[in-house]
Amino acid sequence: MSPVLAGVSIAVITVSDRSAAGARDDATGPVLADRLAAAGADVMRSLVPDEVEEIRHAVAGAVAAGARAVVTTGGTGIGPRDVTPEATAPLLARELPGIPELLRQRDAHLTPAVALSRGRAGVTAGPAPALVINLPGSVRAVESALAVLPALIAHAVAQLDGGDH
């Protein structure tokens, strides 16, 4: 049996001022990249500060480079520099609110703070649409999401390519 994400190109974008400045190691990007690669994905990684234009440029650039899914980590809270959802929104032709709802629901029993996550998900427009998912910058949240993301991404990409439900 082949890995669930075999042949799927996925971009992992870490959004963090401190990590981009070299003041802190990126704790979540490598976890996402390693686990998605282990599921068969072709993974490209980038790291950007919490700046709307830089985030938007990284996501759009990944899609233009052929990524079928883009997973961001960080910048989804309510802090003044948390702008990932605002950066992502204009790139989405169709929102998929069920994904962030599912991810928040998975961890609601651990901490009520998941209700403060503003991550969004959706699909870009164009001839080769991509799935975009915003995750928090927490290792625990990323680990939890990885329990469902590989199969979810594989199914979404198959549907975007005209596959059956």
- 4 Cβ contact partners less than 8 Å away, ≥ 6 residues apart: 39, 40, 150, 151, 154
- Secondary structure (3-state) at 16: coil
The answer to whether position 141 is within a domain reads yes
The answer to whether position 3 is within a domain reads no
The answer to whether position 99 is within a domain reads yes
Q: Is the pLDDT of residue 164 over 90?
A: no
User: Residues 40-51: what's their mean pLDDT?
Assistant: 98
Q: Give the range of the structural domain holding residue 18, as residue numbers without chain letter.
A: 9-160
The answer to whether position 38 is within a domain reads yes
- Secondary structure (3-state) at 161: coil
The answer to whether position 1 is within a domain reads no
User: Which range is least confidently modeled, 48-57, 78-87, 108-117?
Assistant: 108-117
Q: How many domains does the chain have?
A: 1
The answer to whether position 165 is within a domain reads no
The answer to whether position 112 is within a domain reads yes
CA distance 79 to 99: 22
The answer to whether position 85 is within a domain reads yes
In terms of pLDDT, which residue wins out, 128 or 132?
132
Q: Assign residue 49 the CATH number of its domain.
A: 3.40.980.10
